[in-house]
A and B are shown apart, each in its own frame.
Chain A
Amino acid sequence: MLKIIRITGKSMEPLYRDGDYALLWTARTRRVRPRHIVAVRHPTLGLIFKRVERITDSGHIEVRGLHPHSTDSRSFGALPPDLIAGKALIGIRARHG
């Protein structure tokens, strides 16, 4: 039901930075809504961490990073909802700056 993951990369800055942790809720993952932050098992990129931008008519999710250079649904398209590994409940952030 709960899972802890470590964030790597910069695409969710400033909300999550490289090295932060997130507590995921891994049950009922199909109930995500836009603006939820999710971890998704992408077939080639592995476990990725993004924000849900939109749910398509077919129920697929479009995800986005917060950083302008993020690799997300703008390049790889919408993802089937069964790839969602969990929804972020809280972030455990390192002190920055």
Chain B
Amino acid sequence: MSDTDTPGDLQTLLDELAPLLVDGSPHAVALGLTLVSLKPGLAVMRAPYSADLVGDPESGILHGGVITALLDHVCGLAAFSGFGGQDTPATLDLRLDYMRPAKPGLDVTAEAVCLKSHGLVAFVRATAHDGDINDPVATAQAAFMVTGASKAAQERAVEALRSGQPL
């Protein structure tokens, strides 16, 4: 968070950008991912269960790739808000622990916390669960970085949003 922003201002900015952050990502849309909430350094997203996204037709379990994309995206949002909503961060690395398969038929929710962000790097931790966060499906730990490309993209996003132009 930059010194000039109070948390209130940041929340306003996040609310303003929220529709863009998930619905503006074709891959997230293709997987049906939705944003549940976005606060400074805290993001929650959901992957609704869908037969189209199954990894093993015999068991009906969601493909691990859905969980991977969900955790990557939610961690990115926590990093974005942790950076003060000023820069779209790029993933440096993502470490995933698959604790158990998600139960067939249940939506998966992922909650991410930005543990620390300073200057160029943000550290994020996330948990994915199918109803009880104390019985996780998977956890993630990730590091994000602000890059030249991500900075330019962020400027274009804010400009597009404020001018009401489609992306």
Q: Are A and B interaction partners?
A: no
